[in-house]
Copies of this chain bind each other. A is one copy, B any other.
Amino acid sequence: MGKAGTKGVSRADRERQIVDVAVEEFGRHGYAGVSVTAVARRAGISKPLVYSYFDAKDGLYLACVQRVGALLVDAVAGARARSGSTGHALDTLSALFTAVEQCPYAWSVLYDPAPPWAGAAGEAVRQYRERLAEMGAAGAARLLDRAGHADPLDHQLLNEIWQYTVTAVMRWWAEHPEQSAAAMAERCARLLTALGGG
A interface residue numbers (CB < 8 A to B): 28-33, 108, 113-114, 143-144, 146-147, 149, 151, 153-154, 156-158, 160-161, 163-165, 167-169, 171-172, 176, 187, 190-191, 193-198
Contact = CB atoms under 8 A, between A and B. Distances in A.
B29 A114 contact: yes
A143 B190 CA distance: 11
A57 to B, nearest CB: 13
Nearest to A163: B168
A61 to B, nearest CB: 14
> For the complex formed by this chain, how many copies does it contain in all?
2
A142 to B, nearest CB: 10
Given A30-B113, A158-B194, 20 more contacts: A28-B114, A32-B33, A33-B114, A108-B113, A113-B171, A147-B194, A149-B190, A154-B191, A156-B172, A157-B168, A157-B169, A157-B191, A160-B168, A161-B169, A161-B191, A164-B167, A165-B168, A196-B196, A196-B197, A196-B198
A154 B190 contact: yes
A107 to B, nearest CB: 12
Contacts of A157: 168-169, 172, 187, 191
A81 B180 CA distance: 40
A151 B108 CA distance: 26
Q: Which of A114, A151, A190 lies at the interface centre, i.e. has the most chain B CB atoms within 10 A of its CB?
A: A114
A30 B114 contact: yes
A171 B59 CA distance: 27
A39 to B, nearest CB: 15
Given A32-B32, A198-B196, A168 B161 contact: yes
A196 B164 CA distance: 19
**Interchain residue pairs A-B with the least CB separation, the first 4:** A164-B168, A32-B33, A147-B194, A32-B32
Contacts of A28: 114
Contact of A172 (B108, B160, B187, B197): B160
